C-alpha cells in the first residue's frame, strides 16, 4: 500500500487534513463532502481547523487538487538539447518522461490522487480549471513545441492539438485502463510493459504515423545545448 504523501512545509495536523480531504473529495465530490467528515477521518476534533489551515472548504479543495496534480514530471519539463537533436529524439524524451513520471510512478501514489483527478476531469469545476492551467497546460506546451519543430510548416493549431492528444492518450491508457489491460493480456504479459517498452512502442507508433525517422535510444542532454521549452530558442 502506498505511503501517505508528504506535504512540504506542513505540520502533522495539516498533512492529515489534506490526506483525509483528498480521500473524501475523491469518494464523494466537492459538494457532497463535508468538513465534519474530513476532520473525523483526519482524527481532528475541532472543525475550525479547516479555517485555521486552509481558510475554507473551497481553498482546501483547491489545495487538495493541486497536491494530487503535482508530480515529478513538472520538475523535469524544462530541458536543454544537443544542437544536433532531432525532433523524433525529443519526442521520445517527452513520451519517456510521461510514462516514467505519470503512468508508472502513479502506481506508488495514493489511489485518491488519480480518483480525484478523474472526478475533476469528468465533473469539472472552476477550481479544477485553474489547476489544469497550472499543471496540465505546461505539459502540452512542451509537446506542442516539439511537434511544431517536427511537423510541416503551416499545420493548423487544431491539427497540432489533435495529434498531441493522441500521443498523450496512448500513454495515459496504460495508467487509466491498467486493470482492463491485465484482463485482456494477463498479469505476466502486462508485467513486461515496463517504461522502456512503453516508451519505445509509443514513440515508434507515433513517429511512423507522423512520417518521422525513429531510432532507439533517444539522446541524452550533452554539453552543446539549445532549449526547447515553450518553443523558445
Mean pLDDT of 30-53: 94
Helix (H) or strand (E) holding 226: strand 225-227
Alpha carbons 1 and 3: distance in angstroms, whole number: 6
Alpha carbons 149 and 157: distance in angstroms, whole number: 13
- The pLDDT assigned to 230 comes to 42
C-alpha cell at 201: 512502442
pLDDT tens readout for residues 49-92: 999 999 999 999 999 988 887 765 566 666 677 778 889 999 99
Question: Rounded to 5 degrees, what are φ and ψ at 105?
Answer: -65, -30
Q: What domains, with CATH codes, occur in the chain?
A: 12-68 (1.10.10.60), 72-231 (1.10.357)
Given a cut of 90, whether residue 197 has pLDDT beyond it is yes
What is the residue-averaged pLDDT of the chain?
Answer: 83
Given a cut of 70, whether residue 222 has pLDDT beyond it is no
Alpha carbons 46 and 200: distance in angstroms, whole number: 52
Given a cut of 90, whether residue 207 has pLDDT beyond it is yes
Beta strands in 70-167 (DSSP E): 80-82
Question: Rounded to 5 degrees, what are φ and ψ at 86?
Answer: -90, 155
Amino acid at each position: 500500500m502506498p505511503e501517505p504523501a508528504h506535504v512540504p512545509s506542513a505540520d502533522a495536523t495539516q498533512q492529515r487534513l489534506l490526506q483525509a480531504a483528498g480521500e473524501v473529495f475523491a469518494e464523494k465530490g466537492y459538494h457532497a463532502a463535508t468538513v465534519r467528515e474530513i476532520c473525523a477521518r483526519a482524527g481532528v476534533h475541532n472543525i475550525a481547523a479547516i479555517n485555521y489551515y486552509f481558510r475554507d472548504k473551497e481553498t482546501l479543495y483547491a489545495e487538495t487538487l493541486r497536491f494530487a496534480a503535482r508530480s515529478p514530471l513538472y520538475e523535469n519539463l524544462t530541458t536543454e538539447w544537443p544542437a544536433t537533436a532531432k525532433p523524433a529524439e525529443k519526442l521520445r524524451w517527452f513520451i519517456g518522461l510521461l510514462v516514467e513520471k505519470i503512468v508508472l510512478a502513479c502506481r506508488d501514489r495514493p489511489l485518491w490522487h488519480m480518483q480525484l483527478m478523474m472526478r475533476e476531469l469528468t465533473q469539472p469545476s472552476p477550481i479544477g480549471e485553474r489547476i489544469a492551467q497550472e499543471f496540465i497546460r505546461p505539459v502540452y506546451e512542451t509537446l506542442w513545441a516539439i511537434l511544431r519543430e517536427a511537423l510541416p510548416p503551416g499545420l493548423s493549431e487544431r491539427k497540432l492539438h489533435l495529434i498531441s492528444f493522441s500521443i498523450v492518450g496512448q500513454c495515459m491508457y496504460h495508467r487509466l485502463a491498467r486493470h482492463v489491460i491485465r484482463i485482456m493480456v494477463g498479469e505476466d504479459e502486462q508485467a513486461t510493459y515496463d517504461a522502456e517498452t512503453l516508451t519505445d512502442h509509443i514513440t515508434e507508433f507515433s513517429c511512423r504515423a507522423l512520417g518521422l525517422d525513429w531510432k532507439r535510444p533517444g539522446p541524452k542532454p550533452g554539453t552543446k545545448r539549445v532549449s526547447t521549452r515553450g518553443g523558445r530558442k
